[in-house]
Structures are given as structure tokens and as C-alpha cells.
Structure 1
Amino acid sequence: MNPTISTETLVEEISKAAFTGNAAAFVGAGISTPSKLPNWMDLLRPLAEPMGLQITEDDDLPGIAQYIVNMSAGSRTSLFARIKTAIKQSKSKPNHYHQSLARSAIDLVWTTNYDDLLETAYPVGAPVVHSRDTDIAHHHEPGRREIIKAHGCINRSSADELVITREDFEDYFVKHPLMAERLRSDLQRKTFLFAGYGYGDPNIASILVEARRLAHKVPKQRYMLQRKADPSKAPDAIQRQQQWAMDLRRIGIDCAIVNNFDEYADALDSIALRSRGPTMYVTGGHTANSKLAEEVGRELAKRTDVSVVLFDGQSTGASRSFIQAFVDQAAKDRIDFRERIRYFPNPYAQVPALSNDPELLPRLKEWRAEMLRSANTVLAFDGGMGTRAEVELAADLGCNILLCAENSAGSSAGLAQIAHIRKLLPDDHEYLSSTDSGTPMQPAEIIDLVLAKMPQWKSW
């Protein structure tokens, strides 16, 4: 019996939950591995050698950390200093995994990592970070993302607050009552994704014990993404991983196993985009109405079998033409469109003089960032510098992008030649030829391309 699920199932379930605000991630050291941070063995080895201990991968590392503290008469100073110095000297930066999580709609991330790479990966809207019980006691502003550091933070915690020794793990739920209660609550309310953990990882052991205690009364599902075990490290590594996956299923955690790091990154990338749901932002020139935008907006309204949510950024020109045509057609066909449009304020659009000031483009990007981070797809008609700025920002935030050429003199052909934008365009020869030449496509063809990469869940 295969105890695992497909990666596609994991991605879909986590994405659906995240889109409705009901998902959380719990990430471990494996997420930071590509950033070349020192691992537990690297951290503890120089402190264990004076005791005559040669650390191996099979060692109980929290136990080794406990021995180090015991030999120092209970002082954690040398251990804390070793961790802090090693992380600082590594000069590590956020990697692809951190960036994918930061771009997703998952609004709560628990982590057992001490580093601050995850919080620095957020492109906009810095999350609130909790690293001690007193932090949990304070309320944070609604809608702001959270990172909870279950084992402390090297830049925020004292030596006594880091969870690293055997005693720390044994007494965790006693010494951190507010953190423990918040974890219990989240495990019962949220659909969880566990990532960055492997078989035997001591950082996750106590968390899984708590998950097991709650398994019989928690309706929410939990998932774990794992990389396939390496048989070169142990002849029975794959068998052990399979048995662990089966045991995790017993406590309500379904595992999906990928073959390598690239597939792991692909899964997180898929969650980052699909968790934004069937959402779309339309941009384009702001000085004139766009006939093509009107036709495409009308065509989308006629597709009564899909549920795309439009982001209205209060822009004039092509964006307004699209949304007004969509609303007019929906009203004509007696379709309730109230849940199909989400409004975002845009101070930039309220002062016409700002629209032609290139020095204010950075401010435009700042105002648009939160909206575009939530958008699955950006549909861009030909426009000027503002349109270009929004498309460039959308590419940086990982949105699907569809450039709609209206004529050969428009912006689409130029934007389509920018490498990091082109890789986000549909891989369709006819579409790319149309964009490169500035030849308009039919409205129905444009909508088909929009829907091809967008989840088709009901969004209300």
C-alpha cells in the first residue's frame, strides 16, 4: 500500500485553503539549506570534540547539545555564541524556497529555524514576527502576515530562549504556554503544510506529538512535502521514509514525495501562484478607451461557467474599459457580479499629474505591490510607463502575465522581449507571434489563455 499522495493533490488542497485564509505552513531547516546555512552537525561539532565526541548523522543532536550545556555547568553562553557567530559568518540570503512561501497567499508561517531569512524574503508588507510567549500575547493588525518562531530567533531571543537542548524539547509545552496554546489553536483551525523536514528531524518531533494528540478531533487536514530519501546514505532509507509516511498518515498528515530539489521548488512555486486563486488585474494605457479591452471584458462576462475575480485598481483607460464592459454585460445577462470585483485604492489615479511623472514610478509600484502580490494573472493592454512599471512589478511578484497587443506601436512587443517577463507569458507559438508583431488576438482566444493557467474553483 502506497502511504503517500500526489504532489498535485497537496498543491491543490493547500492552495485552496490559502486562498480562503485557512492555511498555515510549518517550515524547518530544509527550507534554508540552499542558503548554505550551517546545519546542526556543523554547529555542534567543535563544541563536542573537547568531550571526545565525534558527531554523526545518527546522533541525538538535542542530546549532544544537552551534554555541551551540562559540561558548561548549565551555561548556554558558548552554545548560543557558536550559533550566532556561525549564522552571521555564513552571510546567507533568502533562497527560492523562502521567496515562494513569501509570494504565496499563506498568511501564517510557523518555523523552528533560528535564522531570519524567511521574513527578509517578503517583497512587500513585512510580516509581524513572534519569537517568544510575550509576543503571542499582543494583537497584530488584521490582514498582516505572521511568522511564529517556535524555537526562538537568533536576532531576537536570548540564550535561554532558544530551544536546542534535550531539556528544551522535553519542557517546551510547559515553558512556552502561550506559544503552545496558539499552536494547538492553529492546528485545529488551519490546513497545514509541513515543509523542510525529513525522517528523524528532532525539530519536528514534539510538534508531531502535539498533532497526534489533536488528530482525533481536528477536522482540518495536514500535509507534508518531502524530498525522496537518498539510498546512498543508508540502504533502507527509502523503506524508512515510506514507513514514516505511513505513520504520519496515522496522525492525520498526508505526505507527498518529490524526486529532487527542482521538483520541491516547483511544488512551492505552484502553491505560490495557485493560492492566489482565480484572480486577475487588468492594466493598460490610461488616456484613452480601449476597444479591445472592452471586447475582452465583455467576453469574460459571457463565460458563466468560470469565476474570475477582477481587481479594480481605480485606473482609467484600458482597465476602466475592461471592467465597465464586464459589468455592463453581466448586468445585461442578469449575472450577480458583486462578488466578482475586489476594489483596491489607488492614490496615483486620483491626481492626473502623477500619471506622467517618471520620478513617481517607484511610488506607483509601492502602492500597487499589495494588490499584485495577491493577483494570479495580470492582463496588460498596450500602455505607457505606468503600464510597464506594473508589468515589471507583476513579474517580480511571480504573477502570470498576458500581454495583449493592440497594434505594432504598442508596448506589448517591447515588454515581451524582456527575458524575465517572457518566461511568464503563455508558451503558445501563435500567441507569442501575435505579441511580437503587435497583431491583436480575438477576445475569445485571450480569455482562453487567461483561464489556461488559472485555478477554476468557485471563489465565493
Structure 2
Amino acid sequence: MTITKQRLIEKYVKALESNTAAIFAGAGLSCAAGFVNWKDLLNEAADDLQLNIDKEEHDLVGLAQHYINKKRNRSTLNAVIMDQFSKRAALTDNHKFLAKLPINTYWTTNYDSLIEKALEDQGRIVDIKSNQTHLPVSVANKDATVYKMHGDIRDIDKIILTRDDYERYNLTHPKFRDILEGDLLSKTFLFLGFSFTDPNISYILSRIRIVLEGNSRPHYCIFKEIDRNDYDNEDEFTYAKIKQQLHIEDLSRFSIETLLVQDYSEITEILEAIYKKYKRKTIFISGSAEEYTPFNRKTGQYFLHQLSKRLVEKDFKLVSGFGLGVGPLMINGVAEYINENKKSRLQNHLSILPFPQESSGNLKINDVWENNRLEMLSDCGIALFLFGNKVENKEGGDIVLGTGLKDEYDLAEKQGVLRIPIKATGYMAEKLSENHNKDIQQQFNEQNRKLYDEIDIYDVNAMDLASIDEFVEKIVTLVVEVKKNN
């Protein structure tokens, strides 16, 4: 069964949001980083055995076994593998996007260290499991676990390589099979660079299918569609296309839906789309308000309270720097939602990162503020800009524009965060709406551009709670639609 690109993105984002997403990476993921595939790796062995590698590509495990049988040991083949996998390889964009996603379970049959390196580059603590002795011990405060079910190049004598290794796998690695079986039952996997010819995976999927009798959890994989240019004649092309379609239909027995792409570069585009769509669940609130004109203090605070409450009701998470006159109202709105629904804790819906107001020691306030803004925006896909005013100095004085909103707008633009200044709240938010109108408009598709225009021109009665409620709903509707289909 095939799936569309948009549908796969939507389904996998939902798995991310429910913390049930997992990745299974095969050799194809590492090939893009510069490592050879198994066919190229065993080409020399095939020549030594006087076999044609093209005719053996569907039984490379058997080929490796034949070669070791002939040599009476695996040292020669180990040396070839060590030579290839010891080469320095650069992380691909695919690895980088996978490491940025909030996934805590990664499985791979690859021997290289690209996945764990990508995770570590993101500052994540990784627990690597490459043999049975690693399973009972866990790394403290880990962010992700990488299961290397066929071993690690750093322990080459124990890698799974030959038919004999596969036949003994249930004896040498029983817990790996048990854990993978459990993850396939409880998580939604995206298979990347994986052909499903691995005997271990076939065995586990078959067991799950039999036990659950067709009620398996949905999983997804991406294949490159058979291309006529890769074949010498029409008959070979037609044969390969039929084989691929039969393979796809067979995978559907295990609840694995397949997305066919024209080129491998589309995988990067898909992972980027998944990453951006997931981030749009988290909204950065940029705002400060010494006063709330055109609202009065009571109605301005009501607007902020209702806006934050309605956003978390729609399952968004809010992030803010606890701006003057804005942060406390956001907390109140989220707290009211939680008290009414008893669903979760405050920190699941709201992240506040206060900005220090005075220097001490070697602390440089401007550097701290910049780092705080970068940290907050790195997790967000949408930013709302509200009010933006402050007193001229600490001792009092005139109300002036809050330059922090402009700084955060510029930083959000650099980070690729979708920006929504709310013009009706006045001050810096109004200036941003007017000065950057063209850039803001270009962010939206046609449908959402109309929704934004309605907000931009909406004449809210800032003294009437019903009018404020209607205004809040317009903002929430736009945010929901942006997350869904922009």
C-alpha cells in the first residue's frame, strides 16, 4: 500500500507529538554520507569466488558466508570492512534533521557512528546499545537510545555479517529481538535506507503480524521509484517495476505503508517538512506591555489570558521570555486550562525563560539575552508579537516602543520561524506589521493570507469582552490553519 507525501508527513508528525515516533535506518542512509553499500563492499569477494555481484545482490549475506568459508576465517573481510568504515564521513542533512526531531528511539543495522554523532552534535545524551552486555546498563539522563542491532565497527569481531551470524542471532542477541519487537508494537517507525531483505526484521515482523492478526501498529518507509533510465531495456524495467509493486504489497501485510519518491533528495525535503511542521506545535510569544492601549489594563490582561488559554486548548505549547505585563497573563491562561481539564502539568504546555535585568560577575546581559532568544526560538515554528512597549527608564518616564520585539522578530526571521505580529495590540507589534507586511504576507499560502488579512484589519472593540473573544478566535484559527496546511 502506498501513501502520499503529505499524508506521511501528517501521520509522522502526529507520532512525534504523541512521543511514539521511532526511526529505523538502513545502509542507504549512510551511503549518502560517503560510505559504500554492501554490493560495492562485497564486489572484491564476489570476484575472488568467481561470482557475478549483480546476480548475487539479493543474497549478499550468503555471499559473505561463501567468502568466509573459502578463507576459513573472517579476518580478510573484516579488514575490508574496517578500511571502508574507518573513513571520515560528513553528516548528511538527513542525519541532522533526524537528530533535531524529538525522537528517543533509533534502530539501525549500520556499523558506523553517524546517527550518534548527529545526536551528540545537537547536544543530546546518547545511550548506544551495540551488544547484549549494553542492554542492562543505561546512560544517566539520556535523551536517545541508538540500538545497533548488527554491531559497531569499533567492535568488528562481533558484527553480524554472515549467514551463520544471522542463523545464530536468536541465541547471541535474543534481547535485541525482544526489545525491537516491543518497539514495533508500541511506536511508529519510519524506515529510511532500508530494503527489508534483512532476515532478522522479516522474522520479527512476521511474529508480530501473526500475534496481532492484522491489527499491527502503522509504520512507514520510503523507496525510490523504479526509474527507466536505470535499465538497459524495457523488459528489464517492466520486470523491476512489477517486483517493486509486489514488494510494496507484501509490506502492507505488516502495516507498513510505502512512499515512492522520484529522487533520494526528496527524503531530505520530507524530513525538513516533518521538522518544520512539528515545530509549529510550539509558539513563541514575544511581548511586553507597561500599558495595553487600545485596551485598558483589565481588557488587555483578559485578551492575553484568553489567547494563551485557547492556544493550549488547541494543543499548542507556548514559549516566552516572561515579558513585562505579558508573561504572567500567559501563565494564568495556561493554569486555568489545566485546572479546568486536569489533563497535564504546566510545564507540558508552557516554557518560560526569564531574562536577567542586572549584571553580576562576568555576566554580560546582552549575551545572555541573545542566547535565551536563540534557545527559545530553536524549538518554535510560529512566533506571535504582541504590544511591545516599556517605560523610558527604570525611574519612570514616557512609554516608548519595546525594542526587544524587533530583536526577536529579526532573529525569528533568521531562524525560519513563521512570524505573526498582531497589529491591533499597537506599539512595536503594529510597527512590525506595517514595516514587514510584504515579508509577512509571503509566509502564508493563499488561504492563510486571507485569515491574516482579517486579523490585520479587524477593528476590535477593546472594551468589549465578546469582541475580544472573537478577535482571539481569529488569531487561534490562523495559527491552527498554519500548523495544518501552510
| TM-score, normalised by the number of residues in structure 1 | 0.76
* Equivalent position of 1:95 in the other structure: 92
The residue aligned with 1:357 is: 365
2: CA distance, partners of 1:411 / 1:125: 39
Q: Name the aligned partner's letter for residue 208 of structure 1.
A: S
Q: How far does residue 446 in structure 1 lie from its aligned partner after superposition?
A: 5.0
Q: Whose helix proportion is higher, 1 or 2?
A: 2
Equivalence for 1:20:
18
CA distance in 1, matches of 2:163, 2:293: 68
1:44 to 42, 45, 50: 42
Matches within 5 A, 1:214-363: 214-218=208-212, 219-231=216-228, 232-233=230-231, 234-235=236-237, 236-275=239-278, 278-284=281-287, 297=304, 300=307, 307-313=314-320, 315-317=322-324, 320=327, 323=330, 326=333, 336=341, 339=344, 341-342=346-347, 349=355, 352-353=358-359, 357-360=365-368
Q: Which amino acid aligns with 2:252?
A: R
Q: How is 1:165-204 mapped onto 2 (pairs within 5 angstroms)?
A: 165-198=162-195, 202=197, 204=198
Alpha-carbon distance in 1 for matches of 2:124, 2:41: 32
Relative to structure 1, the CA distance from residue 46 to residue 260 in structure 2 (aligned partners, 3 Å threshold; closer, same or farther) is same
Deviation at 1:372, TM superposition (A): 4.0
Letter in 2 for 1:377: I
Shift of 1:117: 1.7
SS at match of 2:15: helix
**Contact 1:87/1:115 (CA < 8 Å) preserved in 2?**
yes
Shift of 1:194: 1.7
- For structure 2, the residue ranges without an aligned partner over 5 or more in a row are 295-299, 389-401, 459-470
Given the two structures, how large is their TM-score scaled by the length of structure 2? 0.72
Measure the CA separation in 2 of the matches of 1:365 and 1:73.
61
Aligned residues: 433
Does residue 1:138 correspond to 2:137, yes or no?
A: yes
- Give the secondary-structure state (helix, strand or coil) at the position aligned to 2:54: coil
RMSD of equivalent CA atoms: 4.4
Which one of the candidate residues 87, 90, 112 is aligned to 1:115?
A: 112
Q: 1:297 to 1:346 in 2, by over 3 A?
A: closer
1:212 to 203, 206, 209: 206
Q: Distance in 2 between matches of 1:301 and 1:55?
A: 62
Question: What per-residue deviation string (whole Å, max 9, x for no partner) do you get for residues 177-201 of structure 1?
Answer: 2212211221222222222223xx5
For residues 235-268 of structure 1, give each alpha carbon's deviation from its aligned partner in whole angstroms, at most 9, with x where no partner exists.
Answer: 1222111101111112332222233334333332
Q: Which residue of 1 aligns with 2:124?
A: 125
Which whole-Å CA distance do the structure 2 matches of 1:280 and 1:69 have between them? 57
**Pairwise CA distance, 1:399:** 5.4
Larger RCO (alpha carbons 8 Å, 6+ apart): 1
Matches of 2:89 and 2:431, distance apart in 1: 38
The alpha carbon displacement at 1:153 in A equals 2.1
> For the structure 1 residues 356 and 441, does the alpha-carbon distance in structure 2 shift closer, same or farther, using more than 3 Å as the test?
farther
In structure 1, how many angstroms separate the alpha carbons of the residues matched to 2:33 and 2:51? 28
CA change 1:65–1:266 in 2 (3 A) is: same
Structure 1, unaligned stretches of length 5 or more?
none
Alignment partners' CA distance in 2, 1:119 and 1:391: 33
Contact between 2:111 and 2:152, CA under 8 Å: does it hold in 1? yes
The answer as to whether partners of 1:227 and 1:264 remain within 8 angstroms in 2 is no
Within 2, Cα distance between the matches of 1:44 and 1:317? Answer: 65
Given the superposition, is the C-alpha separation of residues 430 and 49 from structure 1 closer, same or farther in structure 2, using an over 3 Å criterion?
closer
Please point out which of 442, 452, 455 is paired with 2:481.
452
Distance 1:133 1:372 in 2: 36
**Cα distance between partner residues in 1 of 2:224 and 2:414:** 28
Q: Distance in 2 between matches of 1:8 and 1:392?
A: 29
